[in-house]
Amino acid sequence: MNFEFSSEQEMLRDQARGLLAEHCPASAVRAVLEGDEPYDAQLWKLVTEMGWTATVIPEQYDGLGLSYLELAVIAEEMGRAMAPIPFSSSVYMATEAILAAGSDSQKEQWLPRLASGELIGTVAVAEAAGQTSAQRLKTTVSNGAISGTKVPVIDGDIAHFAIVVASCERGDGATLYLVDLSDSAIVRNQVPTIDPSRSQARIEFNGAKAERLGAEGEGWSVLQQVYNHAAVLFSWEQLGGSDAALEMAKEYAMGRIAFGRPIASYQAIKHKLANMYVKNTLARSNAYYGAWALSTGDSQLPLAAATARVAAIQAYYFSSKENIQTHGGMGYTWEFDCQFHYRRAKLLSLSIGSEATWQDKLVTALEHNNAA
Amino acid sequence: MDFYDTPEEANFRAEAQAFLEANVPTEQEMAGLDYIAAAKFWQQRKFDHGWATIGWPKEFGGRGATAIEKVILGQEEGKYDVAANIFQIGQGMAAPTLMAYASEEQKARYLPKLSSGEEVWCQLFSEPAGGSDLAALRTKAERDGDDWVVNGQKIWTSGAHYSDFGILVVRTDPEVPKHQGLSYFFIDMKSAGVEIKPIKQMSGGANFNEVYFTDVRIPDAQRLGEVGQGWQVALTTLMNERATIGGGGLAVGVESVMKLAQRVNIDDRPAIEDKQVRAKLADWHVQEAGLKYTSYRTLSALSRGDIPGPENSIGKLVGAPKTQDMASFAIDLMENSGAMWDPEFAEDAGVFQSAFMSIPGLRIAGGTDEIMANIIAERVLGLPQEPRMDKGIPFSKVPTSAKY
């Protein structure tokens, strides 16, 4: 049994943690949250120089050709630092979609520049409140021109290109398209969200040029595949954040005195923190299995990804809200950093489908296993 | 990252498999034996072939096996329907304490028979006035020549009625603070003045006993550790207590509840199609899989020869309430039929009802949910203990709910 990261991967973790602690302290998150800059461009530059955006991209496309285990390690540290950069959009989503469905020439065109960080990519799916469905997409493509509105698109205001899911006549009615967001037939505006440390946009496509990615009518199934990969990587980000929230709550509880003793000595607080630890541990162990299934391409990936995602959503939501509670009134202030985790936990739980969506996918995967 | 054995582990596994294949008792060999006789039969056979208490030194009946080898043997033995292990307390808790504190003669006398299963041991720690607060025990021992005279009562003693010996913690000085007045002995369960009464549980079963002591004489030679050092000795025993009681041994898991949800209907559709049912199943799978992969992480540390991290401490705290909730939910899915606890008429021969009725005990045994949460908070997260009202004052002055 060797169900753990290698010593090289642990070294990468130490390196990532050290670098992000130095270059992405909570003040960096606050600067983006409060300021006009949509992301921390300096941090992004550093992350791309480190090659982290190139982690799983094959060497033939100027990537590092490492495994998803290395990317999981980096993702956890991104989450711990709540890095205000488009890492997940570009790496877990856009890169994965091109790896999954791109033609050789598309891979040659896009992957080297995603690896270097020269380009930021994102994936645009949502059009209105509620689950997006392949059959009811309002964004359409005709004669290579795309029309419709996607909202919200994470990093849509800063990305150079988006992979857009739009309707077509074939298959289940959904196809992926690569769209250069600098096209003059595009209007994009930042939209205020519950987590301004990661920016989002409303994008109006008025006949912009769209290049098909993958086969017509197969966009939705490619998207599900990308989601399964991203679910594992997001789960590591969430886990990093959730552990950080627990540490924050613990540190405060140890130092805060009430009724003559540290609040950390009261069972009401101890049990709260113990529950955070329990949820984080379950999430971590499920994320391990997700990372294993992703890195080996195992057939259990749909179940592993769904389990990792549901566990991570639950853990981070719990520790982010109970971290505020442990801090008492100060935890609710703008001045304190507790809000960052609360915002980010909810944002990450929405990015690729909510808890209920993934609970359903999880049971569907179990049903497939039982039927097999 | 992988789930494979190392070459050494694979060799050991093959060796264990070969032994089990050739030696697990046949149905004929088991015929007519009650569960105690059956357990002893199998234990003796393991002992004779060098497969009993494999982690112990060879001189006491073991083979100096590593922690991961013990796990591998357990995994392989678990594939067979061999007799229940009635030796866990003796081999897992009493023996390590004997190894640490008994004389060489005592080790030579008692350990091999613990290993072979010839003698069974029980644990006499808990009392009516001291459950979670174990050190509040009140059973007293007074010195009389070369003996100690014991009076009082123990409770929750598994297997007292078939045990030959017991490990016992008693109060030898009530006039010093709680932890300082305890001493630790082992006792012959056939001693005059020992009375054992089974406790009938709410599930209808009787797995535990009350044990009464009336002027029971124990030779001073059977004391382990110094007088007044009983708490330190007891900690040696408790460190070896298996923390992971979990929801194990019960046929209630996500798969069994899912299968039930496929058979019964909600709104004229199979219950499994109901979104609320699916959400609950997903949450329980998160816990079940999370515990499984947590144990894999622990095994990985053992495999490497390291001491595992604290992550496995969540097992019982997650497992027991989960099983209770799943059993309760499965019974709800049956609607009116859920009340039936009958091997013939109940769904799945009543396993959900059995679990529902036995789980309340599991949430208490070996540390209540609340104590397990305290342990995580204090030992894993390093949070401070609550102030204790009984600290630094003589035990005889500490308020108690005990009536004697």
Q: Domains of chain A, with CATH numbers?
A: 7-116 (1.10.540.10), 121-216 (2.40.110.10), 220-371 (1.20.140.10)
- pLDDT above 50 for A312: yes
Query: H/E element holding B60?
Result: none
Contact A3 B279 (CB under 8 A): no
Distance CA A371, CA B5 (A): 29
Contact: A3, B376; criterion CB under 8 Å: no
Q: With beta carbons under 8 A apart, name residues in chain A contacting B283.
A: 310, 314, 359
Q: How far apart are CA B154 and CA A22, in angstroms?
A: 58
Measure the CA–CA gap between B156 and A28, rounded to whole angstroms.
57
Q: A356, A348 in Cβ contact below 8 A?
A: no
* Contact of A178 with A211, CB cutoff 8 Å: yes
Contact assessment for residue B299 and residue B228, using Cβ atoms and an 8 Å cutoff: no
Burial (CB count within 10 angstroms: exposed 0-12, middle 13-18, buried 19+), residue B59 = exposed
DSSP 3-state of B87: coil
- Alpha-carbon gap: B251 to the closest alpha carbon of chain A (Å): 17
CA quadruple A101, A104, A106, A111: dihedral sign: positive
Per residue in B4-13, pLDDT (tens digit) is: 999 999 999 9
- Which of A67, A285, A357 to mutate to test binding with chain B, by most B CBs within 10 Å of its CB? A285
Window B:249-308, CB contacts with A under 8 Å: 254-255, 258-259, 272, 275, 278-279, 281-283, 285-287, 289-294, 296-297, 299-301, 303
pLDDT recorded at residue B238:
82
Q: What is the pLDDT along chain B (404 residues), one digit of tens a residue?
A: 999 999 999 999 999 999 999 999 999 999 999 999 999 999 999 999 999 999 999 999 999 999 899 989 999 998 998 877 799 999 999 999 999 999 999 999 999 999 999 999 999 999 998 888 999 999 999 999 999 999 999 999 999 999 999 999 999 999 999 999 999 999 999 999 999 999 999 999 898 999 999 999 999 999 999 999 999 999 988 877 653 333 344 578 999 999 999 999 999 999 999 999 999 999 999 999 999 999 999 889 888 888 888 887 899 999 999 999 999 999 999 999 999 999 899 999 999 999 999 999 999 988 899 999 999 999 999 999 999 999 999 999 998 888 76
Put simply, the answer to whether B281 touches A363 (Cβ < 8 Å) is yes
Q: Which of A2, A261, A267 is closest, CB to CB, to B303?
A: A2
Distance, in Å, from the CA atom of B22 to the CA atom of B49, rounded to the nearest integer, reads: 11
Nearest-Cα distance to chain A for B257, in Å, is: 12
Q: Which residues contact A29 (CB under 8 A, 6 or more apart)?
A: A81, A82, A83, A84, A197, A337, A340
| Whole-angstrom distance, CA of residue B338 vs CA of residue B330 | 8
Structure-token pair, residue B211:
């044990």
Question: A211: how many CB neighbours lie within 10 A of its CB?
Answer: 16
- Give chain B positions within 8 Å (CB) of A1: 3-5, 9, 68, 296, 299-300, 303
Q: How far is CA B148 from the centre of its chain?
A: 29
Q: How many residues does chain B have?
A: 404
A249's CB contacts (< 8 A; 6+ apart) are: A272, A273, A276, A319, A322, A323, A326, A327
Look at phi and psi of residue A214 and say left if phi exceeds 0, alpha if psi is from -120 to 50, else beta.
left
CA dihedral B270, B272, B274, B277 (to 10 degrees): 140
Rounded CA gap, A362 and A359, in Å?
5
- For residue B282, the model assigns a pLDDT of 98
**What is the number of residues in chain A?**
372
Chain A CB contacts of B258 under 8 Å are: 363, 366-367, 370
Kindly report the average pLDDT of chain A as a whole number.
Answer: 97
Q: Which two tokens stand for residue A253?
A: 């509880």
Q: What is the mean pLDDT of residues A166-186?
A: 91
Three-state DSSP state, B127: strand
> What is the Cα gyration radius of chain B?
23
How do beta strands A161-166 and A175-180 pair? antiparallel
CA-based radius of gyration for chain A: 21
- If you write DSSP's letter for every residue of B248-274 in order, what string do you get? TTSS-SHHHHHHHHHHSEETTEEGGGS
Provide the sign of the torsion angle of the four alpha carbons B266, B267, B268, B269, taken in this order: negative
Beta-carbon separation of B275 and A360 below 8 A: yes
> Could you tell me the two tokens for A326?
């442990």
Residues in B touching A250 (Cβ below 8 Å):
381-383
**Which residue's structure tokens are 């007044």?**
B228
Q: Which residues pair with A208 in a beta bridge?
A: A146
**Cβ of B221: how many Cβ atoms within 10 Å?**
12
Residue A276 CA to residue A265 CA, distance in Å, equals 16
- Which of B72, B257, B293, B318 best probes binding to A when mutated, by most A CB atoms within 10 angstroms? B293
* B76 min Cα distance to partner chain A (Å): 15
* Cβ A97 vs Cβ A174: under 8 Å: no
Which residues in chain B have Cβ-Cβ distances shorter than 8 Å to A369?
A: none
Q: Do B272 and A367 touch (CB under 8 A)?
A: yes
| Alpha-carbon gap, residue B203 to B358, rounded angstroms | 6
CA angle A200, A202, A205 (to 5 degrees): 135
Q: Which two tokens stand for residue A111?
A: 């992957």
Closest residue of chain A to B302, computed from CA coordinates: A1
A5, A261, A310 ranked by CB distance to B282: nearest: A310
pLDDT digits (tens, 9 = 90+) for A131-157: 999 999 999 999 999 999 999 999 999
A and B: number of Cβ contacts within 8 A:
159
Residues of B in contact with A270 (CB under 8 A): 373-374, 377-378, 381, 383
CB contact under 8 A, B290 and A283: yes
Residues of A whose CB is below 8 A from B381 = 250, 270, 273-274, 277
In chain A, which residues have their Cβ closer than 8 Å to the Cβ of B318? 278, 282
A265: nearest CB among B314, B317, B383: B383
Phi, psi of A246 (to 5 degrees): -60, -45
Interface membership of B158 toward A (CB under 8 Å): no
| B381: nearest CB among A3, A4, A250 | A250
**pLDDT tens, position by position, A242-279:** 999 999 999 999 999 999 999 999 999 999 999 999 99
Q: Is the pTM of this model over 0.90?
A: yes
Higher per-residue pLDDT: A62 or B349:
A62
Report how far residue B171's alpha carbon sits from residue B183's, in angstroms, rounded to the nearest whole number: 6
Write out the two tokens for B89.
């307390």
Nearest-5° angle of CA A135, CA A138, CA A144? Answer: 100
Q: Which residue of B has its CA nearest to A247?
A: B381
Percent of chain A with pLDDT over 70: 100
Report the number of secondary-structure helices (H) and strands (E) in chain B. Answer: 13, 9
The whole-angstrom distance between A340's CA and the closest CA on chain B is 23
What pLDDT, on a 0 to 100 scale, did the predictor assign at position B249? 47
- Distance of residue A313 Cα from the nearest chain B Cα, in angstroms: 11
Choose the mutation target among B285, B303, B316, B374 for the interface with A, i.e. most A CBs under 10 Å: B285
Q: Which residues pair with A200 in a beta bridge?
A: A154, A191
For A275, other C-beta atoms within 10 Å of its C-beta total 20
Q: What is the pLDDT of residue B244?
A: 36
What are the helix and strand counts (H, E) for chain A?
A: 12, 9
Amino acid, single-letter form, for residue B293: Y
CB A334 within 8 A of CB A260: no
| Residues B271, A219: Cα–Cα separation, whole Å | 32
- Kindly report the nearest CA distance between residue A48 and chain B, in angstroms: 26
Nearest beta carbon to residue A295 from set B1, B278, B370 = B1
- Parallel/antiparallel/unpaired status of strands B165-171 and B121-124: parallel
Three-state SS string over A176-230 comes to: EEEEECCCCCEEEEEECCCCCCCCEEEEEEEEEEEEEECCCCCHHHHHHHHHHHH
Q: Which residue is listed with tokens 């294993």?
A: A292
Cα gap B110→B91, rounded to integer Å: 11
B290 CA to chain A: closest CA distance, Å?
4
CA distance A210 to chain B (A): 37
Q: Pick the residue from chain B with its C-alpha nearest to A243.
A: B381
Predicted pLDDT of residue B245: 36
Chain B residues within 8 A of A359 when measuring between CB atoms: 278-279, 282-283
Task: Strands of chain A (E only): list them.
Answer: 121-124, 140-142, 145-154, 161-166, 175-180, 186-191, 200-213, 257-258, 261-262
pLDDT given at position A372: 77
Tell me the nearest-neighbour CA distance from B204 into chain A, angstroms: 32
DSSP3 helix / strand / coil % (chain B, rounded to 5) = 50, 15, 35
Dihedral angle, C-alpha B305, B306, B307, B312, nearest 10 °: -90
Calculate the CA A132 to chain-centre distance: 18
Contact A146, A208 (CB under 8 A): yes
Q: Do B290 and A267 touch (CB under 8 A)?
A: no
Distance from the Cα of residue A325 to its chain's centroid: 26
Q: Is A295 close to B376, i.e. CB distance below 8 A?
A: no
**Cβ contact (<8 Å) for B286 and A370?**
no
User: Nearest residue on chain B to A365, judged by CA atoms?
Assistant: B282
B residues 208-237 near A, CB within 8 Å?
none
Per DSSP, helices labelled H in B24-66 are 27-30, 35-48
**Whether the Cβ atoms of residue A65 and residue A225 lie closer than 8 Å to each other:** no
Nearest to B294 among A1, A281, A295 (CB): A281
